[in-house]
Structure 1
């Protein structure tokens, strides 16, 4: 694979696997929760009891309810990206850790501190048009691919979040 010419979204599906029964039930419950919230908020939007803050509280509760057991990094946790030397020790010959590829554009974030935006449990594989399960992966706040060097001289303009293996991060206490 040619370095610097591949988007992480084109290879991240390799790090996943099929959804378990729990994942399917969780996805269904989250969709049902979201649909009910939308209907309740739109129906009672004129009433004072329902507010945007209340909707956020409902959403946070749903995220806590369905957090997988043993997940160590949660939204809001402060982490430090390991140095490139430490990250290279976790990578195999294909530049992967747990089948998730470390992209060249991610190097500029090494050694810096960021906040966990959210853990990634499932993702949509655009190529196979199906959901896949992802383990030990998070998205960091404000850590976005700038698209330079991808595809052609103009780059990519999708502005995707990078996916980070928890092996590449250190929790800051």
Structure 2
């Protein structure tokens, strides 16, 4: 299959774009349904022809597979409200923010009517992409015959092969120019990154009495529960209002690795302690990015409306993960109904 090159759009946060037709997108993909090693996934097909605002410019991302730090991504954005629903990947509930290559989008000039934009793009073909994408959404089964998946999250190391060191100042300029973050937010994220690097180095080369607060990363998390961590089952359902417990209460449920029965609590999550939010869904399965296996949780977790990893403690990463919450970290809020 011949891939067609497309000019760079140099999109910024807030710009209006339209997802190209399936036929146009197909012309950009290789035989594996990828562009620059980034898969176009079946879950994205329903968005063809639709308009979205650019939510973030995805010029970098955090490596959650090998922990190598930040990595560079070229000509890609995240669109507002465009998250993966996992429908073609075994019902995965991670709700990842989808990556869109600029070649799959076209800029919409202000005032362009919907009908005119559709006419210019032509009529939508009938699913020419679906067979190709469905085949490539699976990997070879494991030795035990277990089904394994392939998606944007599992292939990010191939799509973003170049590491982006903390000292690369160009990434911070891009954060500001693209509209991803303001100057103060970028400066704060950089300083937090420098501090965390110092903390990591100090634990390797300095005596313990010279460590700052035990060598902890910014956010100062230290589990206090010991090896056996407690559990709670609130039976929360979508739509219920909850309050995220205080950091001190949550630390009492974590072991030394900041885990509660295998589920991690991170510094970014601690920023939301004390906030109220509504339950969006109960989560009991997600794809392991390293292996492509579907992980099934013995105890369901919770995801909350409008709560995402904002990259404040992670060099302004625009990826915006949706955190998973143990029910023991939450408390139900009784709502007062008007008379």
CA gap of 1:9–1:143, structure 2 versus 1, over 3 A, is: farther
Where do 5+ consecutive residues of structure 2 fail to align? 1-61, 67-89, 92-232, 335-339
The answer for the alignment partner of 1:101 in structure 2 is: 264
**Structure with a larger share of its residues in helix:** 1
For normalisation by structure 1, the TM-score amounts to 0.56
The answer for the alignment partner of 1:169 in structure 2 is: 330
For normalisation by structure 2, the TM-score amounts to 0.30
Q: 2:308 aligns with which of 122, 125, 144?
A: 144
Of the two, which has the highest radius of gyration?
Answer: 2
Residues 114-123 or 155-164, more deviating:
155-164
Q: Counterparts in 2 of 1:11-22, with a 5 A limit? A: none
The answer for the alignment partner of 2:318 in structure 1 is: 157
8 Å CA contact 2:267, 2:313 repeated in 1: no
**CA displacement at 1:147 relative to structure 2:** 1.7
Output the CA distance in 1 between the equivalents of 2:255 and 2:325.
16
CA gap of 1:87–1:121, structure 2 versus 1, over 3 A, is: same
User: How many residue pairs were aligned?
Assistant: 108
**CA displacement at 1:149 relative to structure 2:** 3.3
Output the CA distance in 2 between the equivalents of 1:10 and 1:114.
29
Q: Counterparts in 2 of 1:70-109, with a 5 A limit? A: 72-109=235-272
- Higher RCO (Cα < 8 Å, 6 or more apart): 1
Output the CA distance in 1 between the equivalents of 2:234 and 2:333.
16
Output the CA distance in 2 between the equivalents of 1:169 and 1:84.
11
**CA displacement at 1:8 relative to structure 2:** 10
The answer for the alignment partner of 2:146 in structure 1 is: none
Where do 5+ consecutive residues of structure 1 fail to align? 1-6, 12-26, 29-69
CA gap of 1:9–1:139, structure 2 versus 1, over 3 A, is: farther
State the superposition RMSD in angstroms: 2.4
Output the CA distance in 1 between the equivalents of 2:65 and 2:240.
28
After the TM superposition, list the runs of 4 or more consecutive aligned residues in structure 1 that deviate by more than 6 angstroms: none
SS in 1 for 2:319: coil
SS in 2 for 1:142: coil
Q: 2:282 aligns with which of 111, 116, 119?
A: 119
**Structure with a larger share of its residues in strand:** 1
**CA displacement at 1:71 relative to structure 2:** 7.4
Output the CA distance in 2 between the equivalents of 1:136 and 1:78.
17
